[in-house]
Amino acid sequence: MIAHLRGRLLSKSPNQAIVECSGVGYDVAISVATFSELPAENAEATLHIHTHVREDQIALFGFAAPQEKRLFERLLTISGIGPKLAITVLSGISSDRLVAAIRGGDHATLTRIPGIGKKTAERVVLELKDKLDDMAVPELAGAAGGRHHGPAADDALSALVNLGYPRPVAQKAIETAIDKNPSAAGDFETLFRAAMAAIR
């Protein structure tokens, strides 16, 4: 089984990457989060791979971070969730927020993910709530412990990370912006601009 690929990134899109290793181009399904972490085309890329084997095909699913791969594989243990839906889930929400939602039994957040209905959300929480202990997210500990500022802050964090800022730096900038102007927590655009100013 293929578990890891490192090679030249021939092409990338939000759901697919083609990586050339020793003259062979591997077609890999990826999440939006992994897409945002990949380098420019023709640069060297590294992906953690889950090889999914069926009677009629072998499919590769790639992840920039080991935690995202582990989360993908945990999702596959849920009845009704196959690899395509699992990768869609990871494209619809960051790994950190997904782990927090599952641990917190936050069905509302889960059902906002494309392809996840109420029953599937309940199954995910029931079956995975106590199986994510190895997925600690220290930089979001404050958010989970009462410093969570709502959807606008989540979206601002995601936007900053997608722009290339390290997650802890982005998180701190958002906290700084909200400490200076608490009302900014409810408005994405205001909060995003303030956080950008805090980073600079």
Q: How far is CA 115 from the centre of its chain?
A: 16
Which of 128, 134, 34, 141 minimizes the C-alpha distance to 87?
A: 34
Helices 151-162 and 167-180, axial angle in degrees (round to 10)? 140
Domains 4-63 and 66-128 share a fold: no
Mean pLDDT of the chain: 87
pLDDT value of residue 136: 52
Residues in contact with 55: Cβ distance below 8 Å, sequence separation at least 6, in sequence order: none
The stretch 118-126 carries a mean pLDDT of 93
Instruction: Identify the CATH number of the domain defined by range 4-63.
Output: 2.40.50.140
Would you list the domain boundaries of the chain?
4-63, 66-128, 138-199
Q: Residues 136-191: pLDDT tens digits?
A: 554 443 443 335 677 788 888 888 888 888 777 888 888 888 888 888 888 888 88
The hierarchical CATH code for the domain 66-128 is 1.10.150.20
Residue among 7, 64, 10 nearest 42 (CA):
10
Residue 45: other Cβ atoms inside 10 A = 26
Total-model pTM:
0.67
Report which of 145, 146, 139, 137 is spatially closest to residue 172, judged by C-alpha positions. 139
What is the per-residue pLDDT across 27-54, written as a single tens digit (0 to 9) for each? 999 999 899 999 999 999 999 999 999 8
Q: How far apart are CA 113 and CA 194, in angstroms?
A: 28
The residue among 44, 41, 35, 49 whose CA lies nearest residue 11 is: 41
User: What phi and psi values does residue 146 have, to the nearest 5 degrees?
Assistant: 120, -5
Q: Are β-strands 58-63 and 24-30 bridged in parallel, bridged antiparallel, or unpaired?
A: parallel
Q: Which residues contact 163 (CB under 8 A, 6 or more apart)?
A: none
SS (H, E, C) 63-78: ECCHHHHHHHHHHCCC
pLDDT at res. 148: 61
